[in-house]
């Protein structure tokens, strides 16, 4: 039988799909995924063992793979991700102790933790700090007006490989926000999917990552069988029809790169910001009002296709901090206040032209991908070949102009292509993590065998490192009452 989400009377004025779905059974909550159903059942059983009673809710938020559009969301441009089956799941209930008790199913890798519901500090990158980002984001959402939050007993389970570029950390923030909202507030006062996504994108910055919102948007807006092009300001999703007979295969380099723990990611954010500000200054604009490359394009009134030419006024060599200060006519201290962040205030050298060039060309690839995929003309093989070429171009730009790949990723992408992928590229922040490849379904087994033999040393690695996937559903909640 088809799973039927439960929606509340107060929402009848809006479409049901505007709100995260609420299910009444774990079977329906699993939405056709047998591996997830078994995980959720084990999670509930473990919760009863740990806390001596049943959870009120179980929530999930999926990981994602970005098909094309890497490192462009924080510059204001559209992305093209899809949700995957792997997710973060949290079982929870309210307690009367004004404390959050954190436990993880994988207790050997992740430590337990307890903190008060008020006065806690997010000062690290442990798994529970990401939960606290979502928790804090909900508490600070004025529309909800929660006031003093209740205590919570939490048990988490994750099937997304950590630090693999599949958005495990953002999925945890989103899942935490969802359970916090439901435990603390009447159901009819909850937020729309888009509101949750915007709130969670803002909340993850509490941990120091200057993300752009893609991961949180697809976590809530995903639908089975559909990739999404996601536009920002305002948040707008649109469907992308993938060619029939083709799947995406995820392959993990097994090189972990935590974008919040290292400064590489935030350095790219700052380089894009400075590229926009330097060009704005050169073009006579009020550069202090420009924070993103998209804002630069808007201020200049130029089409995206012309922006790569416009930024040719930037030097091809890296800019020193002093040179940027000279161009913007500010002191080093003023530059830090205007343009840098806590994690990047020590930077002394900035690549501007290469970073901006990648963003504008990658943003154009997103629109091209959607146009080709949704076109009614052309055969599936011809469409897939065109999409694959865009993925190849994307990886070349990520590796070269954006310098966010690594030797293992480049080697894995090359292996995927030689093993029959129509296109292959890094996905996620980079500097490790995963590649995504477009593969004909009839050749998938052959492809998987070739990649397994060419990259991985043991069968144990393959269980979570190499798998085919199709677009899955977004965040949801199961009411266990």
Which residues are known catalytic residues?
A: 215
Residues in the chain: 481
- Report whether the peptide linkage leading into residue 234 is cis, meaning its omega lies within 30 degrees of zero: yes
Q: In 3D, which of 474, 460, 466 has the Cα closest to residue 445?
A: 466
Task: Pull the structure tokens for residue 112.
Answer: 């337990």
Cα atoms found within 13 Å of the Cα of residue 63, Cβ hemisphere only: 26
Question: In b/e form, how buried is each residue of 59-70, taking b as 16+ CB within 10 angstroms?
Answer: bbbbbbbbbbbb
Nearest to 422 by CA among 395, 449, 404, 399: 395
Side-chain half-sphere of 320: how many Cα atoms within 13 Å? Answer: 3
Q: Give the 3-state secondary structure of residue 267.
A: helix
Contacts of 211 (CB under 8 A, 6+ apart): 73, 74, 170, 201, 204, 205
**CB count in 10 Å sphere of residue 379:** 9
Burial 411-444 (b: 16+ CB within 10 A, else e): ebbebbbebbbbbbbbbbbbbbbbbbbbbbeeee
Rounded Cα distance, 423 and 416, in Å = 8
User: Exposed, middle or buried, 340 (CB in 10 Å: 0-12/13-18/19+)?
Assistant: buried
**Residue 242 DSSP one-character state:** P
User: For residues 432, 436, 437 and 441, what is the CA-based torsion angle, rounded to 10 degrees?
Assistant: 140
How far apart CA 438 and CA 385 sit, in angstroms, is 9
CB atoms within 10 A of CB 325: 16
Longest dimension (CA), the chain: 67
Distance CA 209, CA 112 (A): 24
- 371 class by beta-carbon count within 10 Å (0-12 exposed, 13-18 middle, 19+ buried): exposed
End-to-end CA distance of the chain: 22
Give SS3 for 342. coil
């Amino acid at each position: 039988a088809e799973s039927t989400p439960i929606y509340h009377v107060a929402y009848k004025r809006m479409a049901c799909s505007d709100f995260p779905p609420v299910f009444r059974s774990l079977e329906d909550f699993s939405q056709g995924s047998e591996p997830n159903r078994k995980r959720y059942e084990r999670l509930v059983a473990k919760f009863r063992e740990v806390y001596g009673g049943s959870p009120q809710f179980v929530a999930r938020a999926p990981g994602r793979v970005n098909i094309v559009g890497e490192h462009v969301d924080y510059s204001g441009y559209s992305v093209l991700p899809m949700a995957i089956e792997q997710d973060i799941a949290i079982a929870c209930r309210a307690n009367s102790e004004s404390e959050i008790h954190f436990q993880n199913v994988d207790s050997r890798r992740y430590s337990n933790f307890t903190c008060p519901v008020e006065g806690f500090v997010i000062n690290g990158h442990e798994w529970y700090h990401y939960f606290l980002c979502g928790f804090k984001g909900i508490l600070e959402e004025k529309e909800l007006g929660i006031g003093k939050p209740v205590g919570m007993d939490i048990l988490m389970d994750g099937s997304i490989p950590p630090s693999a570029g599949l958005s495990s950390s953002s999925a945890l923030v989103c899942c935490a926000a969802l359970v916090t909202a439901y435990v603390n507030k009447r159901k009819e006062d909850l937020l729309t999917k888009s509101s949750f996504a915007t709130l969670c994108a803002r909340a993850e910055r509490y941990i120091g990552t200057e993300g752009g919102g893609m991961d949180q948007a697809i976590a809530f807006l995903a639908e089975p069988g559909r990739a999404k092009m996601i536009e920002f300001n305002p948040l707008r999703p649109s469907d992308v029809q993938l060619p029939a007979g083709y799947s995406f295969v995820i392959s993990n380099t097994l090189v972990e790169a935590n974008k919040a723990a290292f400064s590489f990611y935030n350095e790219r954010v700052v380089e894009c910001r400075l590229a926009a500000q330097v060009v704005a200054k050169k073009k006579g604009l009020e550069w202090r009002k420009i924070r993103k490359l998209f804002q630069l394009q808007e201020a200049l009134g130029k089409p995206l296709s012309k922006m790569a030419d416009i930024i040719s006024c930037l030097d091809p060599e890296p800019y020193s901090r002093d040179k940027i200060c000279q161009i913007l006519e500010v002191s080093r201290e003023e530059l830090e206040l205007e343009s840098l962040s806590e994690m990047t205030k020590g930077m002394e050298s900035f690549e501007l032209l290469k970073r901006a060039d990648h963003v504008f060309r990658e943003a154009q690839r997103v629109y091209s991908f959607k146009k080709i995929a949704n076109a009614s003309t052309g055969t599936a093989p011809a469409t897939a070949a065109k999409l694959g070429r865009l993925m190849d171009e994307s990886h070349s730009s990520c590796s070269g102009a954006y310098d966010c790949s690594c030797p293992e990723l480049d080697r894995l992408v090359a292996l995927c292509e030689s093993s029959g992928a129509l296109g292959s590229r890094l996905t996620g922040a980079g500097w490790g993590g995963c590649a995504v490849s477009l593969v004909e379904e009839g050749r998938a087994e052959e492809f998987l065998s070739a990649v397994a033999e060419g990259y991985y040393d043991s069968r144990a690695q393959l269980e979570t490192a190499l798998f085919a996937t199709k677009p899955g559903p977004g965040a949801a909640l199961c009411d266990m009452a």
